[in-house]
Structure 1
């Protein structure tokens, strides 16, 4: 592999520094995303300018002009790419600017996913026209606060009915890159827990089945559909229920103005975490339940009840007032 010899000091241009940084990255997805940010930033600053001649405020000004009116996530992503680039240059002793302190990372916005009340969820699951399969899936999504794909991927062999838990394959934070440049998702095994509602429904749904997918279709797949052995029940020949099928079934029972206007499967996870936050669950417990890796991602659910706030306020009372 050829070694890129970089000039030092003022001879290092903005474009050369950006290309060298991108060449140091191994993840093709990161290269593509960072390339967008650095390409536009370098073009705005002047690709042929010496990197050492660029001021900190020019970096901040470029970010503000290019993405100041963009969505919060876009701003944070582009800012993070430029921050990584300037930090990489500084670590290698190249004279250059830094992202100014005033170009701050913005807090993530509140989710626009609707929060369904516990009563609305209970009523939907209790409806007589809802099949046992959907009742169990929706109750399990709500009580585990797991992602839909994780629950649909669970097999009976992994269920711990007595312990009310099961391992799920959760996508890791960082993808792994193979030698040939292709990206493979890094999955990790994590445990989800459910409560009495799911515990009552699961045995009825399984009907003595001991292996294969927990949630299956009502019809066998056609002869032209190729499925892995893990995605077919060996006893009944029924296939694993897909995310698209599960989403359509939920929409069918909740749509109020035509197809596509009903609930979304993610609303069970979002509602469950929100209800836990409203009941005073701590941020650490919410992170343990949701398996989020960053605390800012669970702060939207941290909504203690009025009673919990009263109890905390009582700690500030004079000593004799609490006797």
Structure 2
């Protein structure tokens, strides 16, 4: 409910609402979502590739570095699907999430991080964190608000409470170790009773 109320605020910009909904529904790391470009979006399939945590450039056999990575796919749902087309406003290339200003003359920005249609720069993690803090700070005190990573924790907690299996939580979050996801796994008594029935003699469920 707190998340829905935050995203519904009129004073929150469409960009922030889209980012927050994306982070919650994909349970992806903020760095990965911020790095997505429009060309990579599969709007019909509600999915996009993101760079895996700790990903490093591939290296050719002779040692030359290639600037490509093995991607991981993240998925979103109806909330994000409603917001994304409004945010893009017909843009077909460049960063999905951009700032409201163009880079200054002395700023060195990669061409991939500039929208070729508007000249606006890709939104950074620091900027995203500051914007979220502005909307969630306790008593308006800077530095007391939410952190972008909390969207990931909130989404996983909701899925765990909803009965998602440990393996499904790992697949959704792309965690490699079960112990990092176990705290979100909360099977209901009914689910435990159901799986226990598999151990009964014969096939009791017939």
| TM-score normalised over the length of structure 1 | 0.56
Q: Give the Å deviation of 1:293.
A: 1.0
Relative contact order (C-alpha < 8 Å, sep 6+): which is higher? 2
Aligned residues: 200
Structure 2 equivalent of residue 240 of structure 1? 122
Q: 1:265 aligns with which of 128, 141, 148?
A: 148
- Of the structure 1 ranges 238-247 and 271-280, higher mean CA displacement relative to structure 2 is found in 271-280
Distance 1:128 1:143 in 2: 21
Q: Which has the larger radius of gyration?
A: 1
Structure 1 equivalent of residue 103 of structure 2? 221
| TM-score normalised over the length of structure 2 | 0.87
Answering whether residue 189 of structure 2 is matched by residue 299 of structure 1, we say no
> Structure 2: 5+ residue runs without aligned partners?
60-67
Structure 2 equivalent of residue 124 of structure 1? 6
Structure 1 equivalent of residue 112 of structure 2? 230
> Structure 1: 5+ residue runs without aligned partners?
1-118, 178-185
Instruction: Indicate the structure with greater helix content.
Output: 1
Q: Give the Å deviation of 1:247.
A: 0.2
Answering whether residue 50 of structure 2 is matched by residue 168 of structure 1, we say yes
Q: Give the Å deviation of 1:176.
A: 8.6
Q: 1:311 to 1:126 in 2, by over 3 A?
A: farther
Distance 2:21 2:158 in 1: 14
Q: 1:275 aligns with which of 133, 148, 158?
A: 158
Residues 182-210 of structure 1, C-alpha deviations (whole Å, 9 max, x = no match): xxxx9431111111111110000000000
Conservation of the 8 A alpha-carbon contact between 1:152 and 1:241: yes
Q: Give the Å deviation of 1:222.
A: 1.2
Distance 1:159 1:191 in 2: 10
